[in-house]
Structure formats: structure tokens, C-alpha cells
Amino acid sequence: MKFLNKTVFITGGSRGIGKAIAMKLASEGANIVIAAKTVDPNPKLEGTIFTAAEEIDKQGPGNVLPLQLDVRFEQDIVSAVRKAVDTFNGIDILINNASAINLANTEQLEAKRFDLMHDINVRGTFFMSQACIPYLKKANNPHILNLSPPLNLDPHWFAKHLAYTMSKYGMSMIAMGLAEELATHRIAANTLWPKTTIATAAVQNLLGGDFLIQRSRTPEIVADAAFYILQRPSYECSGNFFIDEEVLTAEGITDFKKYAVNTDNKLMPDLFL
């Protein structure tokens, strides 16, 4: 029970990678706050904060708090963080997983799509971190983990989808900046990104359908990597851009077949790698 009595606040945790991380940490004793927008069933999207909470609750001795939250609105963020603290008496780990994606090029991207990505990915991550910092300062081994890629200024990554790259790199810049800013408080700030595409709703509905799903890994590989990162000492594990497979390899795990959706297909490298 590596995370017994720890409280983990996860944005966008009703499905996909966020839920997988919640399930993993719950199985290790953590209290989980699932903060996401989906409260009513959607035929195109699996699950709600309530169905996710039911699944997570079965994993371990900790408790689960489902909260409806749109991270675009800072007052809602403040309210959600306050409810989490009132329920669990603090926050030990913040996982900024909520994200929007649109791979349109500059000429094709609508202003509202640009704003959505930057409001959720950058602004939401910034103000979620801001709201949690006072409580992380009081925690033992506090961590912030952003689901975003390593920073790489190779023009290749900007040419294909400039607006999306800017937004995801914004999340990574927040982690890099907070690692330095919060070092005296021993609050870790890192990023985590998958080496391959992950079988999520975004991949299914927006990127490549079942063809790409069959060439992806399951969200559990990212969850397992997060599990190892978040138990490392916060004062010495900060400012890193982690890749899931590299984290697991460092832990002595070399067989990744169990994470493949279909072991007969060649895996597809994820964006930014």
C-alpha cells in the first residue's frame, strides 16, 4: 500500500489515462478525487465521473470523491479543491490530465478550437496547480504530474499542428517552471508522456479509429509509470520529462506485451516522439 492515506486529485479522470492512474493508485490505498466534466452518459464517450468512481472505489481501502469540474473556470477550480480538502484534509498529489486535442493546421483551425485547447491544456493546468500549491506545501512527498510531452523545439513538431503543440508544450513549460519555483518547498513537478499511442477515446474518435487502436497500448502502461514516479522522493525527482516505457525499464520491467491491444500489430509511436 504505497499510497495509503495519500490524496490524489486527478483532472479528466472519468476515462482513459486519468481513470487508469486513479485505478492504480486506489489499489495502493490512495484517496482519489475524480474531477471531470462528464456527469451524464454520452454515446460517444465511455463513462461519467460517477461510473468511474464506482470502479475506482472497488480497487482499495481509500475513498473516492467524484467532482464535476471544467478547468476553464478558475472559480470552479478553487471550489473543487476546497471540497477535496474538506473531504480528505489535504492534497498530496495533483495530476493534470485534462486535455483537448485538435490537429488542424493554422489555416483550418477555428478560433474556438484554439481557445478550447489553450483554456484547458495551459490555463487549466496553471490554475489547477496554483490552487493546489498551498496544500501540497503541507504534504509529505508532494508531486505535480502533467500528462504532456518532452519539450523539443524541432520545427517538425510545430509544422504539423502548431496550436496543439503550443498548448501541450505549455503544460510541459508549467511543470518545468514549477519544478524550479517550488524546489524550496520540496514539491516535485514532472511530466509523463507515452512512447506509443494509447487506446483512448481521443485516439478512437479523433485520430485513427480502430486501425490506430489496434496499434496502441492500453492506458495501464501510463498508470504503472505514474505509480513509480509518484513514490519517488519529491526533493530529488523534479523537473523531468518522463516517457512511460523508460520509467518502467528503469524499474526492471522489460516485457511490455501485456500492454499491447493487439500483439500481432506493430505499435504506433505517439505524437512528439
Give all strands (DSSP E) within the chain, no chain letters. 7-11, 31-36, 64-68, 93-96, 143-146, 188-193, 241-243
- Measured over all CA atoms, what is the biggest interatomic distance in the chain, rounded to whole angstroms? 51
Of 187, 185, 179, 255, residue with least CA distance to 217: 255
pLDDT at 206 over 80: no
Was domain 7-259 assigned CATH 3.40.50.720? yes
pLDDT digits (tens, 9 = 90+) for 60-97: 898 999 999 999 999 999 999 999 999 999 999 999 99
229-248: average pLDDT: 98
The one-character DSSP state at 185 is G
Q: Are 25 and 3 in contact (CB under 8 A)?
A: yes
pLDDT band, residue 245 (cuts 50/70/90): very high
Query: Please, where are the H alpha helices in 197-251?
Result: 201-202, 209-213, 220-230, 244-250
**Residue entry with cell 501541450:** 168
Q: Could you tell me the three cell numbers for 133?
A: 500549491
Kindly list the catalytic residues. Answer: 164
> What integer pLDDT is reported at residue 69 of this predicted model?
97
Of 118, 58, 82, residue with least CA distance to 9: 82
pLDDT at 46 over 90: no
209 or 72: which leads in pLDDT: 72
pTM: 0.96
Q: Are 213 and 46 in contact (CB under 8 A)?
A: no
Q: Determine how many CB atoms are found less than 10 A away from the CB of residue 72.
A: 18
Chain mean pLDDT for the chain: 95
pLDDT digits (tens, 9 = 90+) for 132-159: 999 999 999 999 999 999 999 999 999 9
pLDDT digits (tens, 9 = 90+) for 100-118: 999 999 999 999 999 999 9
The amino acid sitting at 88 is F
